[in-house]
Structure 1
Amino acid sequence: MNSTKNPRHSPGQSITDKFPTVGEKNPSPDILDWKLEVVGLVKRPLTFSWEEFSELPKREGQWDTICVTGWTRLDDKWGGVGLAEILGLAEPLAEARFVRFVAYSTRDHDTSLPLEYANEHVILATELNGEPLSQKRGGPVRSVCGGKYFYKSLKWVRRIELLAEDKLGYWEEVSSYHNNADPWKNERYSSRPMATDEFAERVGKRDFSDAFAVRDEQFKQLNGVDLSGGRFERAQIKGCPLHYVVWTGANCSGANFTLCNFAGADLRDAILVGADLEGANLQNADLRGADLRGASLTAAKFVRGEHSAKIEGARFLRSDIENEGLSSKEQAFLLAPEQGAIIE
């Protein structure tokens, strides 16, 4: 991912010409019999076959693709059918205020938007930059919403539902992603801190296994606190300040540290196998001897001149480093023989 600074992009983002695959990789099997339903608070519930959908008037939109993990693609051109076209046929009732999109997904992946905003900014896309939309990118039909983080755009759309009251989507509910998702306001997460008593107890026991916390400022208290050998397996600690934590030899296997700031952290010999480090800042962190095999590294940051991460003896899978979500600069650093990482 060749990334550069650009005053056009929203805070905390880097520009890339790559298109990393994030979220679900495959739809549910019943997508083979694709159809699109429009239900809820409408005068005319509708069902479109692929042939019927393909005959609807087309619309194009050019928007930046802004991923919450920290990368942005400028000026992607999407083609398909405007949401307004479909809703014009379905005729929303006066009490309809929100629109929910539901995917062909084994976990019923969904998201929602205010109806007024969605009507102006959403395309049911079948093309990306002049090419048919691949299944990997959400084809045959995905919603694309301009001006929001990309989790408000949904792969493999199967149903559009009009609602009087909002319903939090999958990522908004499970990962506490911000429901408004305005990238210019840096609305990535809604804060969901851990209970104060629970936090203190976990620190005392050095056990954060299976913990859940989002944008939790309590974690600043761990600055310099020795939690060597601590347990963080399967923890979901997202968007939290973890600078200068001392987690030498800690077991963080399967943990989710998306968008956490580990600057200056001591992670020597830590077990980060299968950890989610998407968008994490690991600059100036000491990762010597750590095991990062199977870790998700999309948009992670290791390089900062003389304050780059120390990775001698750290173990990585080459396939994790060479994934399309890591910038070329970061890839080159991790693979450089002089850095001393063990690449498998």
Structure 2
Amino acid sequence: MRPDRLPPGQTLTRKFPVVGEKAPLAAALDLAAWRLVVDGLVERPLELAWPDYLALPHLDRPADLHCVTGWSRLDCRLTGVPLAALLERAGVRAAARFVRFEAWSERRHDTSLPLDFARADVWLVHAIDGAPLTVEHGYPLRTVAPGRYFYKSLKWLRRIELLAADQLGYWERESAYHNVGDPWPEDQRFTTGSVDPEEFARLRAATDFAPWRLPRRVLLGVDLAGWRPAGRDLTGLRIKASDLSGADFTGCDLAGINLSLCNLRGARLAGVSLAGADLEGADLAGADLTGADLSGAALSATRFFADLEGGSHLAARVEGLRLAGASGLLEDQEAFLAAAGALPGAR
């Protein structure tokens, strides 16, 4: 475990925010029918029933968890089985270079890691901090890779496949997350920016954002500081890790938008619908959220205030802010919103 335990841009929490899918396929919860398959480039393919997994030697391991949305949870105690022990039973063939993990998931959620790293770092986990996993955190069995952002870990494990060539996982395919995801040497949250100068000019002037709603279309690292959209319907767009500071969204509809890890400092959002939006890791310090609707929004590591140099304080305006059904608030932001009287309905 590293001595500098908090990666850049991360916020500590003792909560365990829920990210991604909330529930698996029903078959994952039927322990009588549950199976874990280990196949691909192995000498002895395995199929484990739940009693077979329980019969394996279980160990405890300390670990720190770092989510790409910006929260970190230190000193977790994982209980489970090192992946290396299971791979030893299966016998890894010489041609294997990568490990792919697949979930009991409606979208067939998956992720992959280089074999050498996975063998050293990944555990199969059924309990955290002495308690069984909850369903929303991966019950009955998940993987955890503490040395990578948490999207490289996987809930509701059903298959471990050994591969000669890598396959991009769900988040890498759908949201342009970085395929390495190492929190430490540099910012490996996303791939590089995705908008060339010509497209950027079209985006800034657009009155219809339909071309940017195509499947798997993610706008990354875009400088839209001070933007006032000419089109008012921004619903469902995915604009991530971008600069929207000082943007004026007055009169816009942002329901269901994904603005995760965006800089929204000083943005004008009064009366705007952000219902169901993904604002995980977004910075809203100094934004005008008067009367805005954040019902059902994902707010893991979202910031509504910031402490500045010299002891000054930059806070969002939150009078009349609606937060019913919003989730993921970390402790300091929750306390700020509660003190401002804006918290009823959030959890």
TM-score of the two chains, using structure 1 as the length reference: 0.90
Alpha-carbon shift at residue 82 of structure 1 (Å): 1.2
Alpha-carbon shift at residue 264 of structure 1 (Å): 1.6
Aligned-residue Cα RMSD (Å) equals: 2.0
C-alpha spacing 1:191/1:143, structure 2 compared with 1 (3 Å): same
Alpha-carbon shift at residue 50 of structure 1 (Å): 1.1
Percent of pairs with identical residues: 46
Output aligned runs, 1:23-42, within 5 Å.
23-31=20-28, 32=30, 33-42=33-42
Gaps of 5+ in 1: 1-5
- How far does the alpha carbon of each residue in 1:96-116 deviate from its partner, in whole angstroms, 9 at most, with x for none? 000000000011001000000
Q: Distance in 2 between matches of 1:275 and 1:133?
A: 27
Q: Distance in 2 between matches of 1:300 and 1:13?
A: 11
| Match status 1:311 vs 2:318 | yes
Alpha-carbon shift at residue 56 of structure 1 (Å): 1.7
Counterpart residue number, 1:3: none
Output aligned runs, 1:72-91, within 5 Å.
72-91=72-91
Output aligned runs, 1:135-154, within 5 Å.
135-154=135-154
Counterpart residue number, 1:286: 288
Counterpart residue number, 2:130: 130
| Match status 1:213 vs 2:218 | yes
Q: Is the 8 A contact 1:253 1:272 kept in 2?
A: yes
Output aligned runs, 1:48-127, within 5 Å.
48-127=48-127
Output aligned runs, 1:127-276, within 5 Å.
127-184=127-184, 185-209=186-210, 210-211=212-213, 212-216=217-221, 219-220=222-223, 222-227=224-229, 230-276=232-278
| Match status 1:13 vs 2:15 | no
C-alpha spacing 1:224/1:108, structure 2 compared with 1 (3 Å): same
- How far does the alpha carbon of each residue in 1:113-155 deviate from its partner, in whole angstroms, 9 at most, with x for none? 0000111111111221222233232121111112111111111
Q: Is the 8 A contact 1:104 1:157 kept in 2?
A: yes
Q: Distance in 1 between matches of 2:295 and 2:56?
A: 47
C-alpha spacing 1:134/1:343, structure 2 compared with 1 (3 Å): closer
Gaps of 5+ in 2: 307-311
Read off the aligned partner of 1:22 and give its amino acid letter. V
SS in 2 for 1:72: strand
Counterpart residue number, 2:334: 331
Q: Is the 8 A contact 2:278 2:298 kept in 1?
A: yes
Q: Is the 8 A contact 2:205 2:230 kept in 1?
A: no
C-alpha spacing 1:207/1:59, structure 2 compared with 1 (3 Å): same
Read off the aligned partner of 1:335 and give its amino acid letter. A
Counterpart residue number, 2:309: none
C-alpha spacing 1:303/1:139, structure 2 compared with 1 (3 Å): same
Read off the aligned partner of 1:215 and give its amino acid letter. L
- How far does the alpha carbon of each residue in 1:184-219 deviate from its partner, in whole angstroms, 9 at most, with x for none? 133111125134433322322344354433432xx3
Alpha-carbon shift at residue 72 of structure 1 (Å): 0.8
C-alpha spacing 1:57/1:335, structure 2 compared with 1 (3 Å): closer
How many residues align? The count is 330
